[in-house]
C-alpha cells in the first residue's frame, strides 16, 4: 500500500519528491539505528513522505523523545496522520505540513533550540 501511495504522489507532484524511488525497509532501519535510543531526542524527519523511515524512527523513541515529521504533501501528511492516529507513541509524533526549508522557523516557533 505504501508503494501505491508513493506512486500516486510521484505522478501528481513529481517536483516535490526528493527521490525517484521510495526508501527500502533495510535502509530505513539502518538510518533509524543511528538515533541514540537512550537519550531524550528531538528528531526531525525532513520530507517524511510515505513514512518508510518514520516507522523505524518511532520504534527508536523513548518516553522523553519527540519526532517531528515535516512533509509538504497534503496527501502524505494525511496518510501519516492515519497511520499514527492510534499509535501508543502518538503524543510524541508531530506531523507538520511544512517545507523543510523552513526548519529554522519551526525550531523557533516550537521552542526547540538549545
pTM across the whole model: 0.77
Band (94; pLDDT cuts 50, 70, 90): very high
Band (50; pLDDT cuts 50, 70, 90): confident
Query: Does the pLDDT at position 11 exceed 80?
Result: no
- The predicted structure's pLDDT at residue 34: 87
Residues 6, 108: Cα–Cα separation, whole Å: 31
Residue among 6, 23, 4 nearest 14 (CA): 6
**8-12, 27-31, 102-106: least confidently modelled range:** 8-12
- The predicted structure's pLDDT at residue 88: 97
- The predicted structure's pLDDT at residue 21: 56
* Average pLDDT of the segment spanning 24-34: 85
Band (13; pLDDT cuts 50, 70, 90): low
Query: What's the DSSP call for residue 24?
Result: P
Amino acid at each position: 500500500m505504501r508503494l501505491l501511495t508513493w506512486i500516486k504522489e510521484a505522478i501528481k507532484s513529481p517536483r516535490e519528491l526528493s527521490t525517484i524511488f521510495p526508501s527500502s525497509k533495510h535502509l530505513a532501519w539502518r538510518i533509524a539505528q543511528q538515533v541514540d535510543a537512550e537519550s531524550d531526542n528531538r528528531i526531525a524527519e525532513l520530507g517524511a513522505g510515505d513514512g518508510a523511515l518514520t516507522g523505524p524512527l518511532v520504534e527508536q523513541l523513548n518516553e522523553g523523545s519527540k519526532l517531528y515529521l515535516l512533509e509538504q504533501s497534503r496527501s502524505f501528511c494525511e496518510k501519516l496522520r492515519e497511520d499514527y492516529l492510534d499509535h501508543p507513541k502518538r503524543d510524541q509524533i508531530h506531523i507538520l505540513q511544512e517545507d523543510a526549508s523552513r526548519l529554522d522557523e519551526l525550531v523557533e516557533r516550537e521552542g526547540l533550540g538549545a
